[in-house]
Every structure is written in C-alpha cells, then in structure tokens.
Amino acid sequence: MQLLRHVPLFAGTDEQHLQVLAFSAGRETVRAGERLFAAGEILPAGFLVLKGEARARAEGDEEAALLLQPGDFVGEVSMIAGTAHHLTVEALSDMEVLRIPRDLFLRVCGEFPEFGKKVMANFAEHHMHLVRHDLQLLHERLSRAPGVAEAVRKKDAS
C-alpha cells in the first residue's frame, strides 16, 4: 500500500481507492533471469515492484536499459489501454511484484469515477511531458542534419 501511494500514476488519489486496488491485485514471484513480460506481448496489466530488481529495455535497444527497483511501476499503458507492452522486463534478482490486471483497474475506475479521472489526468500529464521531450530531441537532431539545419533556422526565425 505504501509503495502504491508513491507511484506517480496514482498521485493525489484517495487512499481508500488505492486500498481496493492493492487488496484486489495479485502478488507474483519472478525468479532471477526470468521475464516479467516481453516487448510485443499483450498482457494487459501493470506491475508494481515490491522486492528485487529488474532491467527494462525497448526491443532492439540493448544499450538503453532502465533499472526497476521497489516502488517502480511498469506496464501502465498496457494496464490502461490493453495494448502490447513496449518493453521487455527481466528480473535481475528474485522479485515480488503486485500485478494489477486491466479489468481490475477498469472496475475500480468504474466504481470510483473520481479515481479514474485523477489517474487519467496523471497519465496524460506524464505522457505529454514525454512527447514534448521526444519532440525536443527530434528538433535538435534535425537542426544538426545537413540541409535540414538551414530550413529549421529559417522556420525558427519566422
């Protein structure tokens, strides 16, 4: 319950709603070396790391990996939208996770609309920040590309 309260996706939500989510979700054990899920896999659930560590990486990007530790939440897009995961998550040590299936998440959102509204607002804010960041990186890369740099400077000047 304490870890779930600190997940940015659930920031500002009522503790009672989080309790319903936490007590209805299932705990799973993942052994070191095992995958929690793979990129492209449709497993509509989000996972809160309770114990242990894992490595999360995008398919085809071995260099950029995120270290997941207790309190980290992964799979929010799949939990909310039911889409395939875009990361592969592999346990680096024995782990315990709280699995929040999409149907449970949607049921709690349906029973407590204010919870659903707050979570979706948090989700939108976080993802808009990521989109802005990605667009800024793209703009910087394009501005350094031969032939494109001059066009971008002209556009920025106007």
pLDDT at 151: 61
Q: Residue 58: its pLDDT value, please?
A: 84
Under a CB-based contact definition with an 8 Å cutoff, are residues 56 and 74 in contact?
yes
Residue pLDDT tens, the chain, 158 long: 677 888 889 988 999 999 999 999 999 999 999 999 999 998 899 999 999 999 999 876 666 688 999 999 999 988 998 888 889 999 999 999 999 999 999 999 999 999 999 998 888 887 666 556 556 766 677 777 776 656 655 666 66
Q: pTM value? A: 0.76
pLDDT value at residue 33: 96
Going from the N-terminus, what domains does the chain have, and what CATH number goes with each? 2-152 (2.60.120.10)
Q: How far apart, in whole angstroms, are the C-alpha atoms of residue 77 and residue 131? A: 14
How much is the pLDDT for 30? 96
**Residue-level pLDDT at 150:** 64
C-alpha separations of 60 from 65, 83, 108, 133 in Å: 11, 19, 35, 21
Tell me the pLDDT tens digit for each residue of 107-116.
999 999 999 9
